[in-house]
Amino acid sequence: MSPRIVLITGANSGIGLATAKVLAQASQEFHVIIACRSLEKGMQALNELKQDGITGNVSTVQLDVTDETSIQAAATNVQERFGHLDVLINNAGVASRHPDIKTRLQLCMDTNVIGPAVVSAAFRSLLLQSLNPYSIYVSSGVGSLALASDPTSKVFRGPSNGEAYRASKSALNMIMLQDWVESRDTPLKVFAVCPGFVRSNLRGTSEEERSGWGHASDPSISGNTILSILEGRRDADIGRFIHKDGSFPW
């Protein structure tokens, strides 16, 4: 059986790396490509997987979601190595608290919105060569307009200077919806996924920030949610904004 080729952006740490671990451990059918801004970070991630005893099919490719030349080169790399792509996981993201609102909006929109849109466009033809393709956008519950406007919601009141990240995830959801609409006459299955409140360096680099001040869950939870999609257990939710226990309103 030919391996299922999975490319994960921003996969050298956090949710991306945890997802790579989950998929590599789940089945030898997956060949996971760790895509990240530098090959050095990619090799470090591969070494971490080896140290954890993960012997699945894993490789790396350089891909900076804010650099169109890098994106096109990564797509060419995948084309030459595999001839197609079965799963694209747009996971790379940033959260900026820069004091200047224009700067933090530009940083978040470039990486969290424009980047995934350009990556999806670059890999679309490779996905459509797969018999069972998936396109997954890692979003966030804070990007739900319905939840953000509900005073009873946990995400009603966001952090100070957090509007750029929230706005970028709302915009990413629209990118995902447009991708789904344009793919309805194709085999491509498109999802937006909230990974949940898990350990991540998006909040900062200190242990307190990464762990959500002790409240964040292990990012393997996010990886298992994505695994459930790839195993077909969430096919009833194609075109929706899902989380591990159901779905969110837009």
Using the CB atoms, write b or e for 155-180: b if 16+ within 10 Å: beeeeeebebbbbbbbbbbebbbebb
- Look up 165 and say whether it is catalytic: yes
134 is catalytic: no
Q: What is the dihedral of CA 228, 241, 204, 24, to 10 degrees?
A: 20
Q: Which of 165, 183, 200, 222 is catalytic?
A: 165
**pLDDT at residue 205, as a whole number:** 58
What local confidence, expressed as pLDDT, does residue 92 receive?
97
Unique residue bearing structure tokens 């396109």: 135
pLDDT tens, N- to C-terminus, the chain (250 residues) = 689 999 999 999 999 999 999 999 998 999 999 999 999 999 999 999 999 998 779 999 999 999 999 999 999 999 999 999 999 999 999 999 899 999 999 999 999 999 999 999 999 999 999 999 999 999 999 999 999 999 998 888 777 778 999 999 999 999 999 999 999 999 999 999 998 775 555 545 555 444 444 545 687 899 999 999 999 999 999 999 999 999 999 9
pLDDT of residue 212: 46
65-78 pLDDT tens trace: 999 999 999 999 99
Catalytic residue among 96, 140, 168, 222: 140
Alpha helices in the chain (DSSP H): 14-26, 39-51, 68-82, 101-109, 115-127, 145-148, 163-182, 207-210, 220-230
- From the list 120, 139, 168, 169, the catalytic residue is 169
Model-level pTM greater than 0.85?
yes
